[in-house]
A and B are shown apart, each in its own frame.
Chain A
Amino acid sequence: MNATTQGLPAQTFQAKALAPAERALSMIGGDLTEKSLRLHLEGLAGVDAVGLEQRAAALGTRSIKTTSKAWALDTIIELIDLTTLEGADTPGKVRSLVAKAVNPDPSDATTPRVAAVCVYGDMVPHAVQALGGAWSRGTDNGINVAAVATAFPSGRSSLAIKIADTSEAVAAGADEIDMVIDRGAFLSGNFGLVFDQIVAVKEACRRADGTYAHLKVILETGELNTYDNVRRASWLAILAGGDFIKTSTGKVAPAATLPVTLLMLEVVRDWHRLTGERIGVKPAGGIRTSKDAIKYLVTVAETVGEEWLTPHLFRFGASSLLNDVLLQRQKLTTGRYSGPDYVTMD
């Protein structure tokens, strides 16, 4: 490991006290330090990549037909964070996205709404405005606004900027914050820094009334690279207070994969087994077809149980997925194959 970090000698570094996050305190014990966190994370069971990928592939062979498929398609829509995260995003683009989120299929009023729209922080006011009465305002009714924050997607900025980025979005009405972890810090072994930043961002999610915006912690699994790292980072993010663990920004390949999502679900399952607490999971990026999304539903249901198939505990970060689900939904309803001209652009 690094001899020093932030100029501290190794001994001091190891003994460095971390932010007293509630979950970590109860799981690891009173003296929460860089060293105790490291020992905890390194004590987690390893992952055999071949076995993990085979299990994911096997789950992917489930055949979901008729009534199950109809339920699955609607559920997928209800779990989508409809996303636009481009440098070219404009208020107009966000309004269009919101319109799609509220009314995904104008030809079929039975179509459910998506869970949230996901935008950059500066677009939050436009999203809130466009949603109008459809905005949930943090309740269970309506559509949430999620904002990416903390120098998304790279996470390369000072903690002060990350905190400001977060608080501004929350102040503007963001119901959910999708933060990125500092992958550089993680890969250099500086778990404590990653931990403290999550704790700090969580605190920045606090609203004036004392409630919190939901915090999704993006691990950027494509950069963490190994499954062992994904398991440790997932565990770390939960210990630090994340409400959701999320695979990817969508800006790095590979983004969400079924094996990586399965692994994160296994962490969530283990956390629940130990504490009774339910943590959410959000695969994001790269899920474009209903067929793929159904594999994720199966994986959730058979790993943590189908009670996880609710927007509180599972989301898809996606954009083009929605239209493919709508095409499939139209096929189920009419018995005929539909085409791209029969669903709307967002």
Chain B
Amino acid sequence: MTDVNPQSASRFLDYAPAPESTSILHLKPSYGLFINGEFVDGHGDSFQTISPATEKTIAEISNADSSDVDAAVAAARSAYTRTWSKLSGADRGKYLFRIARLVQERARELAVAESLDNGKPIKESRDVDVPLVAAWFFYYAGWADKLDYAGLGPNPRALGVAAQVIPWNFPLLMLAWKVAPALAAGNTVVIKPAETTPLSALIFAEILQQADLPAGVVNIITGAGDTGEALVNHPDVNKVAFTGSTAVGRAIAKSVAGTGKKVTLELGGKAANIVFDDAPIDQAVEGIVNGIFFNQGHVCCAGSRLLVQENIHDEVVDRLKSRLMTLRLGDPLDKNTDIGAINSREQLERIRELSDIGEKEGADRWTAPCAIPENGFWFAPTIFDNVSTSSTIAREEVFGPVLSVLTFRTPAEAIAKANNTPYGLSAGIWSDKGSKILAVADGLRAGVIWANTFNRFDPASPFGGFKESGYGREGGRHGLAAYLESAGWGSPAAGSTTVSTTRKQASA
């Protein structure tokens, strides 16, 4: 190190590389399906999972065909009937506590795997995703023997086998959101991670083995859309939980109509992030950045529409651009990376296409100046100013690091513009005036409202949308209730219950 001459160092802000070591990973060259407690080969054509930052292959992944789906559901059914439904809530809880601890113990490994496979910055997988995964299991572990207090009356019943299909934006976290409440409530699970991000789920399967979770309680099958379709349409599943696009959610809602499967759908969003002229301005700018550039904007609740009060528009946009100049795009495994890789070539194409449309429709495009790596999928943070409510980029979910800026004049207009979308997942409000915040929050038709903050998640806090952003809640007591049915009172929950279920309850 004696050759270091501080005077000749390039800019301090060009921080020297600080890569997280991948030596903590012990990846296998190929992964099977995790069915009935064991890894087995799938019967479909296997596929490769790649790193979106380098396009290099990470591992060969099995592809579950319909016979594999049958086997997984059968394993879950058998585990439900023979084992899991016979365990006490306290024992189910202990398994979940074990899983929480194992996730904490292997946190770094999981974070590295997630960033490698998904492309998200290691600081996010390390500081957000994986800690929340552990927290989710810890939270729901404690519920397992307290189901009487879930709000469904005494002795609520598990539903049976839950079919769960999760997206690629928070691979392991979405798995935790699905698996933890399902198991706590007494269900068994077949879960399908997204085809571009199966890796962390397969490491999680190893954790389940270490936890000695009874075979078949959680089955993890990999594959693409047709695998997911076969899973949610399987006649022997009782519950469908899906997080992903509104288009697929709509198809699921149609396919399960009349089947009696209980359904939770957590779909797209086009959140308004409303900044009033009395906002704490520096924190608001941070909140805008966090709202749309967290996880490359691959967030269903991303604050993709900045609604800024017209009298501070110029100042806010100016400050925002200055702030974006300091964002660091690049190697997801570098600890100083703020913006990682776009998850797939397909998604990158979609972001490009929508951005081009935004430009054609007359919005002012501004892109943060940053070097784009040669290989991999990247999209620099982009702002569209002077966007109108009718613009495509103000209406369609881009699911990328692209912010649309619109203005408003009064709180009532802010609410009206924020609600002017078929979606209703989340929204942000920035103001120093409490009464205004609460009144605006009342007026917004969205399931999660962040006031003077954005993109906060917690296992105790219900998450889910109004309108076409889906139905049902994940997180908190509400998220637990989504995996239970009342044994004592009431009528069916929205979305999914058949005549026969209803008759039974009506006559009870």
Within 8 A of A (CB), among B68-90: none
List of B residues within 8 angstroms of A266 by Cβ: 282
B22 within 8 A of A: no
Contact of A47 among B6, B16, B283 (CB under 8 A): B283
A132 to B331, CA, bound (A): 51
A306 within 8 A of B: yes
- Among A16-24, A70-78, A185-193, A206-214, which stretch is in contact with chain B? A70-78
Q: How many residues on chain A are close to B (CB under 8 Å)?
A: 33
Within 8 A of B (CB), among A228-285: 263, 266
Identify whether the interface residues of A are mostly helix, strand, loop, or mixed: helix
B488 within 8 A of A: no
Least Cβ–Cβ distance between A342 and chain B, in angstroms: 17
Taking a contact as CB atoms under 8 Å apart, the answer to whether A301 and B17 are in contact is: no
- Among B57-65, B133-141, B273-281, which stretch is in contact with chain A? B273-281
A332 to B5, CA, bound (A): 12
Least Cβ–Cβ distance between B461 and chain A, in angstroms: 15
List of A residues within 8 angstroms of B2 by Cβ: 333
Known: A51-B452, A65-B16, A333-B1. A71 touches B280 (CB 8 A): no
Contact of B287 among A45, A51, A68, A309 (CB under 8 A): A51
Within 8 A of B (CB), among A41-88: 45-48, 50-52, 54-55, 61-72, 74-75
- Among B7-15, B32-40, B178-186, B377-385, which stretch is in contact with chain A? B7-15
Identify whether the interface residues of B are mostly helix, strand, loop, or mixed: loop
A137 to B280, CA, bound (A): 43
Residue of B nearest to A297 (CB): B12
A50 to B287, CA, bound (A): 11
Taking a contact as CB atoms under 8 Å apart, the answer to whether B1 and A309 are in contact is: no
List of B residues within 8 angstroms of A68 by Cβ: 9, 12, 14-16
Taking a contact as CB atoms under 8 Å apart, the answer to whether A50 and B452 are in contact is: yes
A335 within 8 A of B: yes
List of B residues within 8 angstroms of A335 by Cβ: 1
Residue of B nearest to A45 (CB): B281
A89 within 8 A of B: no
Taking a contact as CB atoms under 8 Å apart, the answer to whether B123 and A61 are in contact is: yes
Taking a contact as CB atoms under 8 Å apart, the answer to whether B336 and A67 are in contact is: no
List of B residues within 8 angstroms of A302 by Cβ: 13, 326
Least Cβ–Cβ distance between A226 and chain B, in angstroms: 12
B453 within 8 A of A: yes
B4 within 8 A of A: yes
Number of A-B residue pairs having CB atoms within 8 Å of each other in the complex: 92
B127 within 8 A of A: yes
Residue of B nearest to A68 (CB): B16
Point out which of A67, A71, A302, A335 has the most chain B C-beta atoms below 10 A from its C-beta: A67
A74 to B12, CA, bound (A): 12
A72 to B16, CA, bound (A): 11
Contact of B4 among A45, A46, A48, A70 (CB under 8 A): A70
Known: A45-B282, A51-B286. A301 touches B18 (CB 8 A): no
Least Cβ–Cβ distance between B322 and chain A, in angstroms: 8
Point out which of B1, B12, B13 has the most chain A C-beta atoms below 10 A from its C-beta: B12
Taking a contact as CB atoms under 8 Å apart, the answer to whether B13 and A301 are in contact is: yes
List of A residues within 8 angstroms of B4 by Cβ: 66-67, 70-71, 332
Residue of A nearest to B327 (CB): A302
Known: A45-B279, A51-B453, A52-B282. A309 touches B16 (CB 8 A): no
Known: A51-B286, A301-B12. A61 touches B1 (CB 8 A): no
Taking a contact as CB atoms under 8 Å apart, the answer to whether A62 and B16 are in contact is: no
Contact of B280 among A45, A63, A70, A301 (CB under 8 A): A45
Least Cβ–Cβ distance between B132 and chain A, in angstroms: 16
List of A residues within 8 angstroms of B283 by Cβ: 47-48, 50-52, 55
Point out which of B6, B286, B287, B432 has the most chain A C-beta atoms below 10 A from its C-beta: B6
List of A residues within 8 angstroms of B281 by Cβ: 45
List of A residues within 8 angstroms of B15 by Cβ: 62-65, 68
Contact of B6 among A65, A71, A301 (CB under 8 A): A71
List of A residues within 8 angstroms of B282 by Cβ: 45, 47, 51-52, 55, 263, 266
Interface 0/1 of B403-420, CB less than 8 Å to A: 000000000000000000
List of B residues within 8 angstroms of A301 by Cβ: 12-13
A66 to B14, CA, bound (A): 12
List of B residues within 8 angstroms of A309 by Cβ: 12
A74 to B281, CA, bound (A): 34
A47 to B278, CA, bound (A): 10
A68 to B14, CA, bound (A): 8
B101 within 8 A of A: no
List of B residues within 8 angstroms of A47 by Cβ: 280, 282-283
List of B residues within 8 angstroms of A64 by Cβ: 15-16, 18
List of A residues within 8 angstroms of B127 by Cβ: 61
Taking a contact as CB atoms under 8 Å apart, the answer to whether B18 and A65 are in contact is: yes
A64 to B334, CA, bound (A): 11
Taking a contact as CB atoms under 8 Å apart, the answer to whether B9 and A48 are in contact is: no
Taking a contact as CB atoms under 8 Å apart, the answer to whether B335 and A67 are in contact is: no
List of B residues within 8 angstroms of A332 by Cβ: 1, 4
Residue of A nearest to B282 (CB): A266
Least Cβ–Cβ distance between A332 and chain B, in angstroms: 5
Taking a contact as CB atoms under 8 Å apart, the answer to whether B287 and A71 are in contact is: no
A332 to B1, CA, bound (A): 6
Residue of A nearest to B338 (CB): A58
List of B residues within 8 angstroms of A66 by Cβ: 1, 4, 16-17
Least Cβ–Cβ distance between B14 and chain A, in angstroms: 8
List of A residues within 8 angstroms of B432 by Cβ: 45-46, 48
List of A residues within 8 angstroms of B18 by Cβ: 63-65
List of B residues within 8 angstroms of A67 by Cβ: 4, 9, 16
Taking a contact as CB atoms under 8 Å apart, the answer to whether B280 and A75 are in contact is: no
A46 to B287, CA, bound (A): 15
Point out which of A45, A62, A74 has the most chain B C-beta atoms below 10 A from its C-beta: A45
Taking a contact as CB atoms under 8 Å apart, the answer to whether B1 and A51 are in contact is: no
Least Cβ–Cβ distance between B239 and chain A, in angstroms: 36
Taking a contact as CB atoms under 8 Å apart, the answer to whether A306 and B16 are in contact is: no
Beyond A51-B283, A68-B16, 16 additional pairs, beta carbon < 8 A: A45-B280, A46-B279, A47-B280, A48-B432, A51-B453, A52-B283, A64-B16, A67-B16, A71-B6, A74-B6, A75-B12, A263-B282, A266-B282, A301-B13, A332-B4, A333-B2
27 examples of A-B residue contacts, CB within 8 angstroms:
A45-B280, A45-B282, A45-B432, A46-B278, A46-B279, A47-B280, A48-B432, A51-B286, A51-B287, A51-B453, A52-B282, A54-B286, A61-B123, A61-B335, A62-B336, A63-B15, A65-B16, A65-B17, A67-B4, A68-B15, A70-B4, A71-B6, A297-B12, A302-B326, A306-B12, A332-B1, A333-B2
Q: List residues of B whose CB falls within 8 A of some A CB.
A: 1-2, 4, 6, 9, 11-18, 123, 127, 278-283, 286-287, 326, 335-336, 432, 452-453
Q: List residues of A whose CB falls within 8 A of some B CB.
A: 45-48, 50-52, 54-55, 61-72, 74-75, 263, 266, 297, 301-302, 306, 309, 332-333, 335
Which 5 pairs between the two chains have the least Cβ-Cβ distance? A51-B283, A63-B18, A63-B335, A48-B280, A46-B432
